[in-house]
A and B are shown apart, each in its own frame.
Chain A
């Protein structure tokens, strides 16, 4: 008969609560899983999270590297913050940092990276490999090495740049320090934007571009009407990410050490000088806390954008 089976002979025992065992793929179970994650979480807690929290504590003390306050730090409330925010040096440094981020990341790396990606789209030959290879090389070489390469390049008496331009004796790092570090950072970081835009451009459907071309659009119009709408999301996430990185970049220190006369004393260098050279840990911590806060805002924005995209 085409019916369900008749009930079994003996009535089944009332369904006993089935014994629980772990249903994950390998049968690890919650306990072992927690043990597996523990070492990583411990390290992260001690060496990443705790310092972030301690910054907040330090920032409200008058802790110093040496002297009475090193042994017996007192809580001074928000004094460090008011000192910092009232200090001309701080605002000078903040403004320089804004210049640095705007100039080298927002404008420099994005424009340069995009331009190269756009020019190299649809190409596969040795030219593309050479160009991309050089750009990436600038990115992966250690920071200490590339810093010195630029020190050498910009040297007033013997540097290659002055030799090429025929203006020996021109002191780039002394007379135009901000420009120097901006150009340097643009050079250094363009690779990331180039690769990101390269991938984004690869995802623009060729049929859209071809339709535009057939309708008579020029290169610039294709860019504006077809390409930009497609990569708008990428531009924003790219901007947020590299701004965050550039804002936290310590490398310019190796070129100019914040000088001359604090003309390139971006926040990263300012914190270092204030806290570890000047010994004023409390003030340094206050500024670090401000940096953390700015990082937080940018990062949250970035992750929101990522989520919205996916």
Chain B
């Protein structure tokens, strides 16, 4: 069990591509930490560099108290689950789970016993003699998990642990993984491109873009107060509304409407400044009657989200989206007014949060 620390970690590929740019990160012991970002942001490279499968160009990887930057992957006391699980097809489940122990020179009987013990814990006891090719996707994932659990490593690394599962299984697996990690208490870093997955599973996460970390925080922090417009638009199943705004005295002019300055930004704005105003569709109150401090316009599209509706309002020359609870949804063509929650509205200057 150990904390993971990255100090100014940089990786440059021959040819000059900066996959990781001077990253600093601290992951306390026992945390379930997500590396989130779009394709090519460097999250998998970062994971592999922590594992040692990629060598860092400069900077340090510290595990517990040890600087492991120069150590071979096998010497770092880490365990990794790959996206395709990498279960050895010619070994049965028992041998697969016991493989790390075999490398550690544990004798055949004790390691088979340990494998069985771990396998039972994950519900694999009926499958111990099967080959990976005979297992379903979900079962294969559990074998891969059992294998890393058998290592009793200091930290676990998961590369896109859920992307190889069917959509339905994925949700079950999310809950399963979160509970497992809580029980084991092992520091775990996982990589995902799915923001919903990261929000659901992680204790804290790092949102990455093009080799940089754009924000580190808990799911609540990242969702409610994204530190910049990249994170703001990347996080959230419904995209955050990002609208051009101009400061007019002690209020904001947004798309021709007068809105209150968010509480967090009071006193930090200069008159006439051009900014970006951000508020999530979920954080606005909808009204069919005109209200002060609202974005007002005409309803153009109403999308059914199940227990709520996503209403698209044409406000001035732009559009805004609002989530409206069941039973209160308007019809296209109606007039609508959306009032942003003061403590959830955000202002961005040059892409960075004003706070």
Contacts and interface: CB of A to CB of B under 8 A. Distances in A.
Interface of A: 1-5, 7-8, 12, 15, 17-21, 23, 27
A5 B225 contact: no
Contact of A20 (B55, B60, B221): B55
B303 to A, nearest CB: 29
B70 A18 contact: yes
Given A3-B216, A23-B55, 9 more contacts: A1-B221, A2-B221, A2-B224, A4-B227, A8-B7, A15-B8, A18-B69, A18-B70, A27-B74
B5 A8 contact: yes
Interface of B: 5, 7-8, 10, 24-26, 53-60, 69-70, 72-74, 213, 215-217, 221-222, 224-227, 353
A-B residue pairs, 9 tightest by C-beta: A19-B70, A2-B221, A15-B58, A2-B225, A2-B217, A12-B7, A23-B55, A18-B69, A2-B227
A23 B72 CA distance: 9
A5 B73 contact: no
A1 B353 CA distance: 12
A31 to B, nearest CB: 15
Contact of A2 (B58, B73, B222): B222
Contacts of A7: 24
A5 B26 contact: yes
Q: Is the interface of A mostly helix, strand, loop or mixed?
A: loop
A5 B222 contact: no
B81 to A, nearest CB: 16
B72 A21 contact: yes
A23 B7 CA distance: 21
Contacts of B26: 5, 8
Nearest to B27: A5
Nearest to A7: B24
B88 to A, nearest CB: 14
Contacts of B225: 2
B22 to A, nearest CB: 9
Nearest to B56: A18
Contacts of B74: 27
Contacts of A20: 55
A4 to B, nearest CB: 6
A260 to B, nearest CB: 60
Contact of B60 (A4, A5, A12, A23): A12
A98 B132 CA distance: 56
A21 B70 contact: yes
A18 B68 CA distance: 10
Contacts of B58: 15, 17-18
Nearest to B9: A15
Contact of A27 (B70, B72, B213, B216): B72
B99 to A, nearest CB: 15
A2 B228 CA distance: 10
B55 A3 contact: no
Contacts of A12: 7-8, 60
A4 B24 contact: yes
A272 B106 CA distance: 64
30 contacts: A1-B221, A2-B222, A2-B224, A2-B225, A2-B226, A3-B216, A3-B227, A4-B24, A4-B215, A4-B216, A4-B227, A5-B25, A5-B216, A7-B24, A8-B24, A8-B26, A12-B8, A12-B60, A15-B7, A15-B8, A15-B59, A17-B58, A18-B55, A18-B56, A18-B57, A19-B69, A21-B70, A23-B53, A23-B54, A27-B73
A27 B24 CA distance: 27
Contacts of A8: 5, 7, 24, 26
Contacts of B73: 27
A5 B33 CA distance: 14
Nearest to B215: A2
B107 to A, nearest CB: 25
